[in-house]
Amino acid sequence: MTDIGDELFKMTATEAVSLLRSKEVSPLDLVEASIKRIETVDHEVNSLPIHCFEQAWDDYRRASFVGFLMAVLSAMIVERTDRGDEMFAVMAERSAWQALHLDALSFLE
């Protein structure tokens, strides 16, 4: 995690997005900071009855394929237009990038 990991949970959403865009932190940094904070204070506030962070992360990684499938399948059932083709291509590209970035392909082995 980054040096500012302990401070991430105190940020506003706007501040977090700014750090994400500048690549000062990764989405995983934000998730890990949230998990760390939950594990630190949850015994006092009892906000989560069950902690399944690893399972939730794996499910998120597996679900990254859904966007790609939606782009491809949706493009197949609508009338083609230049604008639509471009939109579906971008949707597929971004979803595929997410799956690759999250190493979701490792679930297919």
Report the C-alpha gap between 75 and 90 in whole angstroms. Answer: 12
pTM of the prediction? 0.63
Smallest Cα–Cα separation from 38: which of 21, 26, 28, 52?
Answer: 52
Contacts of 89 (CB under 8 A, 6+ apart): 71
Smallest Cα–Cα separation from 33: which of 2, 8, 10?
Answer: 8
Q: How many of the other CB atoms lie within 10 Å of CB of 59?
A: 10
Query: For the chain, what are the domain ranges?
Result: 5-45, 53-108
pLDDT at residue 4, as a whole number: 60
Q: Where are the alpha helices (DSSP H) in 1-109?
A: 13-21, 27-45, 53-77, 82-101
| pLDDT tens column, 63-103 | 888 988 888 888 889 999 999 999 999 999 998 888 888 88
Q: Which amino acid is at 30?
A: L
Q: Which amino acid is at 95?
A: S
Do the Cβ atoms of 84 and 78 come closer than 8 Å? yes
For residue 44, name the pLDDT band (cuts at 50, 70, 90): confident
